[in-house]
Structure 1
Amino acid sequence: MIIAETERLIIRRFESKDTKAIFLLNSIPEILTYIPGAPMTNITQAEEILENMILSNYEQFGYGRWAVEHKADAKVIGFCGPKYIEEFDEVELGYRYLPSYWGKGIGFEAGTAALTKFIDYDIQEAIALILIGNKGSEGVAKKLGMQERGRDKFMGHKVNVFHKYL
């Protein structure tokens, strides 16, 4: 199911065919520098994330992380989308991309398109939880018009919390 489309990207729900992409986004050390948790070591872990987190969020909330597909490559290069964060009782805009797509405006392009769709799910505001030191993700959040709200802890790590009313 397509959520949004931009000049270069298709933002859609994850499907079972996307497990390899989920595995890559959770196993490449360069990507995981500012992501809590250990890297995935096998595809079964990606299948479990898809089933127990992503698809279950779609069922429970009607939304969840969305696959970002690059039109020119016809492959999933990352994710961008909403996730309800119970500890904060707020919805986070989360995003992650393969390193070869960093610095090309993909995060801003996908983030802009995703945020315009939050209202379709009755989401009035969004946060971004960004581990201290992750300047790339902070830059995307700021470019999307999110304001730094302060510091907090999430999953045992210090994070900068960014916020935006939609």
Structure 2
Amino acid sequence: MTVSFPHTGTLPETTPRLHFRLLRDSDAEFILALLNEPGWLKYIGDKNVHTRKEALAYIHTGPLAMFKQQGFCLSLVECARDGVPLGLCGLLKRDSLEWPDIGFAFAERYHGRGIAFEAASATLKHAKEALGLTNVSAITAVNNTASMGMLFKLGFTLQGRIELPGVDEPSNLFLKIL
């Protein structure tokens, strides 16, 4: 089944603590650090981003290319008060999944503050209200209990395991009806 998505090109609204924006070249150092944090490497995997140049390539061929193609992407989530980058949150469209899936990753120093839940909630609201989506998927490593717990808190249901291209081990597949 082919599902088409609107190409509105919008991002979630600012929340009381968070601001969403497209990544830009000046975010390369933050992306380089985030993509090499132990949690990212363990649960998401090594994206082979080990230099500033590779971080720039990731920004342009990943999130910015997806935004141009789909009208949504992983956005930089920053502190609304001072613009400090906190992490990434948004929607991705993978050929192997019927629906867009939500992705989130925050610098480990910001874990445990409710930031990921706030960002993911805003992203789901945006998916429904601005993009007109009726379903959103999510995938996690089978041992990523923190992300699974947050997905359950957000109202996702576990659908089972899925084999994803380029991923050595099965992943958990979740679905949320919006």
Under a length normalisation based on structure 2, what TM-score does the superposition of the two structures give? 0.86
Larger strand proportion of the pair: 1
| 4+ aligned runs moved over 4 Å, structure 1 | none
1:158 maps onto 2:170 in alignment = yes
Q: Which residue of 2 aligns with 1:34?
A: 43
Deviation of 1:89 (Å): 2.7
Contact persistence 1:31–1:99 (CA under 8 A): no
Q: 5+ residue gaps in structure 2?
A: 1-9
Whole-angstrom distance in 2 between the partners of 1:144 and 1:151: 19
Deviation of 1:20 (Å): 1.7
Under a length normalisation based on structure 1, what TM-score does the superposition of the two structures give? 0.92
1:54 maps onto 2:63 in alignment = yes
Let me know the Cα RMSD of the aligned residues: 1.6
1:149 maps onto 2:159 in alignment = yes
Q: Which residue of 2 aligns with 1:83?
A: 92
Deviation of 1:53 (Å): 1.3
Whole-angstrom distance in 1 between the partners of 2:22 and 2:12: 7
Q: Deviations over 1:60-84 (max 9, x none)?
A: 1111111110234521111110000
Contact persistence 1:2–1:10 (CA under 8 A): no
Counterpart among 134, 137, 145 of residue 144 in structure 2: 134
Q: Deviations over 1:7-31 (max 9, x none)?
A: 1111222222222221111112233
Counterpart among 27, 33, 53 of residue 24 in structure 1: 33
Counterpart among 90, 99, 109 of residue 108 in structure 2: 99
Whole-angstrom distance in 2 between the partners of 1:38 and 1:23: 10
- How many residue pairs match? The answer is 166
Compare 33-42 and 123-132 and name the one that shifted more: 33-42
Contact persistence 2:32–2:52 (CA under 8 A): yes
What is the aligned-residue identity percentage?
A: 27
Contact persistence 2:49–2:58 (CA under 8 A): no
